Amino acid sequence: MSRKHIICEKWPIVAMVLTTPFAMILTTIPGLLGFEGFVESLLSSAIAVVVLVLFQRWFSPEFKGTFALRVTLAEVGLIFIPYIVKGVVSVGAGWLETGFYFKPTLAAVGMGIAAGFCEETWFRGLAVPIGMGYLPREKRIFTTVLVTSIIFGVIHVGNVLNGARLDVGIIQAVATTFAAFFFVAVFLRTGNIWIPIFMHGFWDWVCFVTDPTLVDGVMMNDGISFGLIIALILEVALGCAGLYLIRPAMHGKIDRVWDQIWVKPLETTQQDQPRGKHRRG
């Protein structure tokens, strides 16, 4: 039996924005209970998976979830190319500036896992399906990318409160906004949440173990260095690659993917629907 989802139906962008604090609160429970380090990261990641499962059940039967891969492995491989190129160039540029640095720790593994599972749940795992299911069809791709990416970037300004310089925090916010363009694009093209989870988590782990300026995931640079500018340029390039993946010529392919995820996708704008009636979600 279908449920009514009034907020999603009337104010889908509001619903998208609200998913972030909702998921954040749930995944911070282990830390509030006193767990720390690797154990906290694993428990928070497990809660993130539970949230994704419950989200799918709440919107069922129309919503089929984002755990299945809905494109070919060859297409996934092509999508990975800009991600791999950016990673290799970024690490190489960092080592040229600061010298070889590689410090793998269990804490870094935990932070990488948590970054992948928790942040993808906070910023994309819930908000993107709502956008694709409830926004007007002709606007849903652009609006979903814009809203979720801005949220992701703005949140990272908060690293200033954790000791980062303001100028460095602003650069990180810009960089993460463009990174979000790519992660959202991957999610939209594949319809699969595991892929951006892996990409995000693995890349953050690489950063944690190869970048000596990162302390508990916060950029503690003394100023705007050459390496930081290169990192920003690479993130912008990756974001542009993401926008290319979801260019208008690809909208038909993206719609076909999400038509499999939402059995009854939004075909008309809310203005086209009879007054007083709401699409069931």
Number of other residues whose CB lies within 10 A of the CB of residue 209: 19
Q: Is residue 167 part of a domain?
A: yes
Q: Which amino acid is at 241?
A: A
Local confidence pLDDT in tens for the 281 residues of the chain? 567 899 999 999 999 999 999 999 999 999 999 999 999 999 999 999 999 999 999 999 999 999 999 999 999 999 999 999 999 999 998 888 778 889 999 999 999 999 999 999 999 999 999 999 999 999 999 999 999 999 999 988 877 666 667 777 788 889 999 999 999 999 999 999 999 999 999 999 999 999 887 766 666 666 677 777 888 999 999 999 999 999 999 999 999 999 999 987 444 444 444 444 444 44
Contact indicator for 72, 201 with CB cutoff of 8 Å: no
Burial class (CB in 10 A: 0-12, 13-18, 19+), 233: middle
Q: Is residue 164 part of a domain?
A: yes
Q: Is residue 280 part of a domain?
A: no
Residues contacting residue 192 through CB under 8 Å, at least 6 positions apart: 66, 67, 68, 69, 70, 71
**Alpha helix stretches (DSSP H) within the chain:** 6-10, 12-27, 29-32, 37-58, 73-98, 106-114, 120, 127-134, 140-157, 166-190, 194-210, 226-245, 251-261
pLDDT at 165: 75
Q: What is the pTM of this model?
A: 0.89
Residue 61 DSSP code: T
Q: Is residue 279 part of a domain?
A: no
CA 170 from centroid of its chain's CA atoms: 19
Q: Is residue 110 part of a domain?
A: yes
Between helices 12-27 and 127-134, what is the axis angle to 10°?
160
Which domain does 19 fall in, by range?
A: 6-269
When divided into structural domains, the chain yields a total of 1
Q: Which two tokens stand for residue 81?
A: 């190319």
Q: Is residue 31 part of a domain?
A: yes
Number of other residues whose CB lies within 10 A of the CB of residue 256: 12
Separation CA 193–CA 70 (nearest Å): 11
pLDDT at 278: 44
Q: Is residue 199 part of a domain?
A: yes
Q: Is residue 25 part of a domain?
A: yes
pLDDT at 246: 97
Contact indicator for 193, 124 with CB cutoff of 8 Å: yes
